[in-house]
Amino acid sequence: MSQATAEATLPFEEALAAYDPVLGLEVHVELGTNTKMFCGCATAFGAEPNSQVCPVCLGLPGALPVVNEKGVESAIRIGLALNCEIASWCRFARKNYFYPDMPKNFQTSQYDEPIAFNGHLDVELADGSTYRVEIERAHMEEDTGKSLHVGGSTGRIHGATHSLVDYNRAGIPLIEIVTKPMTGAGERAPEIAKAYVATLRDLLKALAVSDVKMEQGSMRCDVNLSLMPKDSTTFGIRSETKNVNSLRSVERAVRYEIGRHAAILSSGGKVTQETRHWHEDTGITTAGREKSDAEDYRYFPEPDLVPVAPSTEMVEALRATLPEPPAARRKRLQSAWGYSDLEMRDVVNAGLVDLIDETVTAGATPAGARKWWSGEIARRANDAGSDVPTYAASLAVTPAHVVELESLVTGGRLNDAMARQVWDGVLAGEGTPTAVADARGLELVQDTGALQAAVDKVIAANPDVAQKVRDGKVQAAGALIGQVMKEMKGQADAAAARQLILDTLVG
Ligand code: ADP
Ligand code: MG
Ligand code: ZN
């Protein structure tokens, strides 16, 4: 547990009545290349510490880096997917600073010559509107190693007795994607921030350049936020909340910082330009280090690497490999699935598009796929603080289960109420739909003799209703169907019961 204390905050609505937020997001994404950006070391996650290192990524004297071609290609594809211009010539730069997780004492990055710049990404919001996020640049760099501070209670350096460093991550290719300052978001700022990161994640996933696992740190987000008085157009001083590593946290961090900045400004104070730490457990941020805009990293062009100069042919060949943009894909799937706008929006917001796509491909109907993935399982996932795809994966519940469940209904073994019970069993880990139906003895009674007996009994007990049906009031049969189902302890097919009642009464 962090011992951090919360600062004063103004309620969100009050803050937005007086101030307009300005938002800037920096997203670091680790590329899924097999080898590091400037050497041949492996990049697998979770390996024995310091087992994936060499003289280049350890910064030993005399070692010479070589650019990873796949890394450059991925950077260009990301830039193109973000509607950026691609530099015809650019260089790497040394960002000089000393920190133990950076063995070379500089990070190889890009400075004023990014590979991609001036792009945009359109983000769809829950109300169906679109917000265009302008992209400042996407540049190539390398990740740092990881420090582990031992002996303290918080895992931070403060209070630790010693620190360990693991350089396996040092040199893994990163792309940093930086937005231009976003204005005009108003009360939608927290939602826009979250939707942008979600949209970017989907896009990177579709590009297959990264596994974009925020929980493993292969996608990390820094949230810059400032407020300006409603009547002003001059940006305020920003805070930069580092490593906000889930979609939900991005939304919460923006909301928290809006309240905190507003409290400072409305009491006549001055916001400090600084980095902030995000605390997942308490939902607050605390001060990190003060940071000026003109921080002196003494950037200079990297002399050991040749410039990157992609030809037009190369860029166009890479453009041809871009996947269908997620928004276009959603439109195509919506029309193929026959969902209403509202149904599609719910499915998108719940992160179900891929799962439903797989389920339909595996043989389920679009309606069935939507129904089974968005009912009970969504409620349970929410209770578990998770989303349906992650939750389903943790339960080992797959599209094949949905297909099987649906075929048990269409094949006449289960009615809808029974199918719901079977799904409950599947979610409780009792096995496949067929196994659950077998174990729980769920099966429609196929014996028409038993069904006819129940129909006769119910008709005899309800002569008035039966007469109405005979007189042509077919809707009245509904009351009889209910009783027949009860008589059959739910083990009958309602449609069959209805047909039999009508056959018996009106022939
Ligand atoms: P740094 O090196 O400090 O991280 P970057 O240029 O990499 O700076 O990123 C700064 C981010 O903050 C960008 O997304 C930018 O749009 C945003 N930004 C800049 N000024 C402000 C401001 N006054 N308020 C909010 N966001 C800002
Ligand atoms: Mg930055
Ligand atoms: Zn190496």
Q: Quick one: which of 123, 163, 128 has its CA closest to 146? A: 163
User: Looking at the predicted structure, is the pLDDT value of residue 420 above 50?
Assistant: yes
Minimum CA distance residue for ligand 1 atom 2: 293
Q: Which two tokens stand for residue 61?
A: 């004297």
What is the number of the ligand closest to the CA of 56?
A: 3
Query: Ligand 1 pocket: which residues have CB below 6 Å?
Result: 22-26, 136, 178-181, 224-226, 235-236, 238
What integer is the mean pLDDT of 324-346? 92
Distance from C-alpha of 6 to C-alpha of 239, rounded to nearest angstrom: 16
| Chain segment 255-304, per-residue pLDDT in tens | 999 999 999 999 999 999 999 999 999 999 999 988 777 678 999 999 99
Ion ligand 3 contact residues with beta carbon within 5 A? 39, 41, 54, 56-57
Ranges of each domain in the chain: 12-294, 327-440, 448-505
CATH classification number, 448-505, choose in 3.40.50.720, 1.10.10.410, 3.40.430.10, 3.40.50.280: 1.10.10.410
Given this model, what pLDDT does residue 295 score? 72
Distance from C-alpha of 289 to C-alpha of 277, rounded to nearest angstrom: 9
Given this model, what pLDDT does residue 489 score? 81
What is the number of the ligand closest to the CA of 168?
A: 3
Q: Are 287 and 90 in contact (CB under 8 A)?
A: no
**If you measure from the C-alpha of residue 486 to the centroid of ligand 3, how many angstroms do you get, rounded to a whole number?**
71
What is the residue-wise DSSP string for 241-273?
EE---SHHHHHHHHHHHHHHHHHHHHTT-----
Quote the percentage of the chain above a pLDDT of 90: 74
| Chain segment 431-467, per-residue pLDDT in tens | 999 999 999 988 887 777 888 889 999 999 999 999 9
Minimum CA distance residue for ligand 1 atom 14: 24
What is the number of the ligand closest to the CA of 141?
A: 2
Burial of 424 (0-12, 13-18, 19+ CB in 10 A): middle
Given this model, what pLDDT does residue 294 score? 63
| Chain segment 366-407, per-residue pLDDT in tens | 999 999 999 899 999 999 888 899 999 999 999 999 999 999
Given this model, what pLDDT does residue 412 score? 87
Q: Quick one: which of 43, 99, 41 has its CA closest to 218? A: 43
| Chain segment 5-25, per-residue pLDDT in tens | 779 999 999 999 999 999 999
**If you measure from the C-alpha of residue 59 to the centroid of ligand 3, how many angstroms do you get, rounded to a whole number?**
9
Q: Among the atoms of ligand 1, which is closest to the Cα of residue 179?
A: 14
Ion ligand 2 contact residues with beta carbon within 5 A? 26
Q: Among the atoms of ligand 1, which is closest to the Cα of residue 180?
A: 16
| Chain segment 32-78, per-residue pLDDT in tens | 999 999 999 999 988 999 999 999 999 999 999 999 999 999 999 99
**If you measure from the C-alpha of residue 47 to the centroid of ligand 3, how many angstroms do you get, rounded to a whole number?**
14
**If you measure from the C-alpha of residue 21 to the centroid of ligand 1, how many angstroms do you get, rounded to a whole number?**
13
| Chain segment 65-113, per-residue pLDDT in tens | 999 999 999 999 999 999 999 999 999 999 999 989 999 999 999 999 9
pTM of the full predicted structure?
A: 0.79
User: Looking at the predicted structure, is the pLDDT value of residue 4 above 80?
Assistant: no
- Under the banding of pLDDT at 50, 70 and 90, the label for residue 497 is confident
Q: Quick one: which of 238, 176, 243 has its CA closest to 214? A: 243
What is the number of the ligand closest to the CA of 58?
A: 3
Given this model, what pLDDT does residue 1 score? 44
Residue in this structure with the two tokens 């022939």, named with its chain if needed: 507
| Chain segment 124-173, per-residue pLDDT in tens | 888 878 999 999 999 999 999 999 988 887 777 888 899 999 999 999 99
367: left (phi over 0), alpha (psi -120 to 50) or beta: alpha
Given this model, what pLDDT does residue 449 score? 85
| Chain segment 172-189, per-residue pLDDT in tens | 999 999 999 999 999 999
| Chain segment 159-172, per-residue pLDDT in tens | 889 999 999 999 99
